[in-house]
Amino acid sequence: MECKVSYLNLIEKELQLSHSQDSEYLVIDLFAGCGGLALGFEAAGFKTIGYEILEDACGTYRYNLHSPCHQVNLTPLSIVDTRSATFSRGIDAIIGGPPCQPFSVGGHQLGLKDSRDGFPTFISTVKRYRPQLALFENVRGMLFRNKVYFEEIVEALQELDYIVEWQILNAADYGVPQKRERLFCVAHKGGWKWPEKTHSHSPYTAGEALEELAFSVPQNSKFLTPSMDEYVKKYEIASKCVKPRDVHLDTPCRTVTCRNLSGATGDMLRISLPDGRRRRLTVREGARLQSFPDWFEFKGSENSQFNQIGNAVPPLLAKALARSVNAYLNSECQQPQNVRQSTQYTQLSLDFAIDFLENPVRKNRKLQQRGVATDAE
């Protein structure tokens, strides 16, 4: 029986960056955050250029990766700057995590009505640069309450002559010590293959990820007070929790989010120490559970670092996807295939600023379909 590699050795090996600046493929990373997706892609040999609005996240990206990250508020009219890269044929892939708050339960699932929606920007960037492949990540909620809006996004990509496929992937199946299910959607020209699961039968546990940290008491540790413990007990009874929501060391951790790293007491990720005390996770512990190597440093305040970690795509999962992207780009021919997805599409109502500027008639027609008065009326 093959010996299981230690988790820390795994992420150190798999997410090691090459010292060479040479890369065959250029990837644009929109809404890049701190670089979780980019770390996986760069570890697989890609050159990435990031775009992100938050200063701390940009600082983290630049500090740890071999690539620039432009601090910018992306809009559908944003122009991607590739002058820092020497790629004559242009952009090979566009990846990103358009803000998920419009579709997450924590963000109240406002979808199209949410001003934080980044999909018009993502789609219009794909339209302008026509990469061989586009990939985005979002929360599972897109397929439920906001399913109609997701179908509109799919149809918009299909109108650009892409084949569109999507799956919900669990990070634990790819070596991440965390039960994290997220939606991944890929627009391609034919021949795409999803990465094979590597750890579905032997997932890493939180204990394997945290090791000695789970029994330590770092400086400035934040412990739950007796009143907080009582609140948590009532919260878990009301929530009908089968067992306390502590980090259980013998199983993959529950989903790491911004909220449970630094937010409300009831949902907080916490470690139960041998002496009975419970403390909040540290930045490094949260990063390990997301598969960031220990050399990866986060910039900004503690809360900012927690937010960067909670919003990131786990780099190990990102690398599995990057390998599939590399295999796709290296394939000799990308031919359309009959790809079946169980969905029924509806009339588009997703407004892309570029389309509206080019075709005001379409804009008025689409607004009328929504019952919105236009100047022509």
In a domain, 77, yes or no: yes
Spatial distance between the Cα atoms of 367 and 370, rounded to a whole number of angstroms: 5
The answer to whether residues 38 and 104 touch, using CB atoms and an 8 Å cutoff, is no
Distance CA 46, CA 312 (A): 18
Domain count along the chain: 3
Same domain as 176, residue 63:
yes
Give the mean model confidence (pLDDT) for residues 70-76.
Answer: 91
Out of 58, 100, 185, 253, pick the active-site residue.
100
Identify which of 47, 15, 48, 51 has the alpha carbon closest to the alpha carbon of residue 32. 51
301 part of a folded domain: no
Same domain, 78 and 145: yes
Decide the pairing of beta strands 47-52 and 69-71: parallel
Spatial separation of the C-alpha atoms in residues 32 and 41, rounded to whole Å: 12
Task: Tell me whether residue 100 is one of the annotated catalytic residues.
Answer: yes
How far is 347 from 373, CA to CA, in rounded Å?
A: 19
Whether 308 is in a domain gets the answer no
- Which neighbouring-strand residues pair with 137? 184
- pLDDT at position 358 is 46
Do residues 302 and 312 make contact, with C-beta atoms less than 8 angstroms apart? no
* Pair (61, 157) in one structural domain: yes
Indicate the length of the chain as a whole number: 377
Q: What percent of the chain has pLDDT over 90?
A: 61
Same domain, yes or no: 184 and 286: no
Closest C-alpha among 181, 102, 97, 96 to residue 140: 181
217 and 248 assigned to the same domain: yes
211 in the same domain as 192: no
Residue 305 placed within a domain = no
pLDDT of 252? 97
pLDDT band, residue 93 (cuts 50/70/90): very high
Q: Do β-strands 181-188 and 278-280 pair in parallel, antiparallel, or remain unpaired?
A: unpaired
- The number of angstroms, rounded, from the C-alpha of 251 to the middle of its chain's C-alpha atoms is 22
Element (H, E) at 303: helix 302-311
309: in domain = no
Average per-residue pLDDT for the chain: 84
Contact of 48 with 131, CB cutoff 8 Å? no
Residue at 304 is within a domain: no
Q: In the structure, what pLDDT confidence band is assigned to residue 314 with cuts at 50, 70 and 90?
A: very high
Q: Are residues 373 and 328 in the same domain?
A: no
Say if residue 80 is in the same domain as residue 160: yes
Same domain, 223 and 175: no
Same domain, 327 and 185: yes
pTM higher than the cut 0.75: yes
Q: Are residue 51 and residue 150 in the same domain, yes or no?
A: yes
Residue range 265-300, pLDDT digits in tens:
767 899 999 998 999 999 999 999 999 999 999 999
Whether residues 290 and 175 fall in one domain: no
Q: Which domain holds residue 371?
A: 347-377
**Rounded Cα–Cα distance for residues 188 and 163 (Å):** 5
pLDDT for position 321: 98
